[in-house]
Amino acid sequence: MSPLDQRARDFEAACNGVDVVIVGGGITGAGAARDAVMRGLKVAIVEQGDWASGTSSKSSKLVHGGLRYLENMQFGLVMEGTRERYRQSKLNPHLVTPLPFLMPVYKDGRHSLFKINLGLWLYDLLSLFRTPRMHRRLNANKTRTQVPELRDTRLSGSVLYYDCATDDARLVLANVLDARRHGAFAFARAAYRGPTTAPRDGHERVTGARVFDHLTQREVVIPCRHIVHATGPWTDQTGAMLGEAARLRPTKGVHIVVARERLPIDVAVAMSSIDDGRVVFAIPFGNTAYIGTTDTDYDGEPDAAMATAEDVRYLLATANHFFPQQALVPDDVTSTWAGLRPLIRTDAATAYKTSREHEVYRDPRGLTTIAGGKLTTYRAMAEELVDDVLADLKAEAKRLGQPAPKLARCTTHKVPVDPGAVDVPQHITGAGDQRDRLLWRTHGGAADLVRKRLRSHPAEDAPIVPDLPYVVAQAAVATLHEDTWGLEDLLVRRLQVFYRSADAGLSAAPAMAKLMAGLLGYDDAWIAAEVDHYRAYVAAHLAGAQSFKTAPGVTRSMAAPSPAHAAG
């Protein structure tokens, strides 16, 4: 059955009614949908764009305990983060992998090497020593050997510690696909337009969710007993549909990408911004490295958040301070992304200090809103959220004199999101076969589908772009089996061509759109529109670096370290 036919059939079945409609296909909604369906609820999840097209594909791509929370004495957050890091790396080893971090310490820095080392002992302790590896203290010479390009002047040494890296968009997709495997209906490109409600035994209750299907341009009502808003930076928009006041204080975080040869690092490096002392990471990313992030208040439309010239300047200035010989310039920036942190309003003085903890709000009509949190802790957030939804459904059943629903306990802490991706042979998980390893890391259990496709379509064993190992068969499998409805979905979130290729995938766009159109049954007009959309997407994401180069009064040298900083 074609993906479009399958979708039409699923919509028809969902319109017979479910228990819960979850709005928002970021990590929060995807994790909640999976947990809810695994407990026995009937679930539909709707996402207005592509899965993870909001904040959840624009993170720093780390599953981490949050070392910097130690400074604010938020030990509970560190313990929760490191516990979830451990679980995810065990359950989803293709998606969550250990990443070494080097934190250089300078004689004129804010903290001594002794104090930083002590902090890392605490970090390892709070993880109950369930860390990929214990941290190590390095003297200046060993630090130079580890990262030769690092600024040397007044270097005391460093600490080498471990967190995990992830493919954030794929982590979301894996949750969605597993929710579907367990029986959930999952619709990307389907926008929620508000609840339907009706009085029930004297109380106003949710009766359904109005959903607009962008692919068929049709609005339907999915009947349900409960709705969850997990809309991240859009929380205030979906809340306004219920007449709720604004809750968020969104902040924008930008990352920029440069070729690895321009920033040759084998470990992530934790730098302290020369502007405001915030921690900024430089992270190796295949044949590239990315630098981020910023943290500034943002009050525009969530979709419009982009890297500005000032964001690019801020990040390059810090990178150039720590890697003075590299002298990175805006021309080196090959890609960017900007995400919004759906942070809860507090009276914290600066954006950087605003709380990362999540909040759950209950509306007695059968609506729950969840906002805030972290990618790392999504599983625990989902567990808490689904407990709440169940409590509401049970209370409502009792009020109506109906039997309480019998549902299973949460099991997400022990069940992998992609059962086909665990227990794979050592030659795949280790450093052996590069092709098999890439397919496993990218597609998890669906790597077998790619191998099958390569056997039946040998011509698709050709690179999508010359500088990356992705092959055309992967694009075909993504289109047929991974809910990929547009060229941007494919090149940005299914395969990381946009981030990792020197031309951001522009040269591959027409051929990939044609391949997708053939598989989905679309025409030439669709191909032209998708290619145009993708070109505009790339241009918008590089506009910050471009305007940096051309803006009056902004010169390349502003990104370079000032003599004072370079002197250390």
Residue in 195, 233, 284, 366 binding ligand FAD, rule: CB under 6 A: 233
Q: Interface with ligand FAD includes 65 (CB under 6 A)? A: no
x/- map, 314-353, ligand FAD, by CB under 6 A? -------------------------xxxx-----------
Class of residue 209 by CB neighbours under 10 A (exposed 0-12, middle 13-18, buried 19+): buried
Q: Which stretch binds ligand FAD (CB under 6 A): 10-18, 19-27, 418-426, 427-435?
A: 19-27
83 vs 151 by CB, closer to ligand FAD: 83
324/90 Cα distance (integer angstroms): 38
Q: Interface with ligand FAD includes 486 (CB under 6 A)? A: no
Residue in 44, 62, 256, 559 binding ligand FAD, rule: CB under 6 A: 62
Residue type, 310: E
378 vs 470 by CB, closer to ligand FAD: 378
416/431 Cα distance (integer angstroms): 22
Q: Interface with ligand FAD includes 33 (CB under 6 A)? A: no
Residue in 22, 206, 263, 375 binding ligand FAD, rule: CB under 6 A: 375
Please name the helix (run of DSSP H) or strand (run of DSSP E) that holds residue 115, with its range, or none: helix 113-126
**Residues in 144-203 at the binding interface with ligand FAD, rule: CB under 6 A:** 191-192
Q: Interface with ligand FAD includes 26 (CB under 6 A)? A: yes
Number of other CB atoms surrounding residue 146 within 10 Å:
18
> Degrees (nearest 5) of the Cα angle 137, 138, 144?
155
108/67 Cα distance (integer angstroms): 21
- Cα separation values, 149 from 267, 280, 308, 314, Å: 12, 17, 27, 20
Match 């419009």 to its residue by tokens.
304
8/4 Cα distance (integer angstroms): 6
Q: Interface with ligand FAD includes 544 (CB under 6 A)? A: no
106 vs 499 by CB, closer to ligand FAD: 499
Q: Interface with ligand FAD includes 99 (CB under 6 A)? A: no
Q: Which stretch binds ligand FAD (CB under 6 A): 10-18, 25-33, 465-473, 509-517?
A: 25-33
Picking from 248, 191, 253, 194, the residue whose alpha carbon sits closest to that of residue 218 is 191
> Quick check: 257 and 246 in contact, CB under 8 A?
no
The tally of CA atoms less than 13 A away on the side-chain side of residue 305 is: 27
Q: Which stretch binds ligand FAD (CB under 6 A): 57-65, 148-156, 346-354, 446-454?
A: 57-65
181 vs 214 by CB, closer to ligand FAD: 214
77/92 Cα distance (integer angstroms): 21
Q: How many residues bind ligand FAD (CB under 6 A)?
A: 39
x/- map, 244-263, ligand FAD, by CB under 6 A? ---------x----------
Where along the sequence are the contacts to ligand FAD (CB under 6 A)?
Answer: 23-29, 46-49, 53-56, 58-62, 64, 191-192, 230-234, 238, 253, 293, 339-342, 373-376
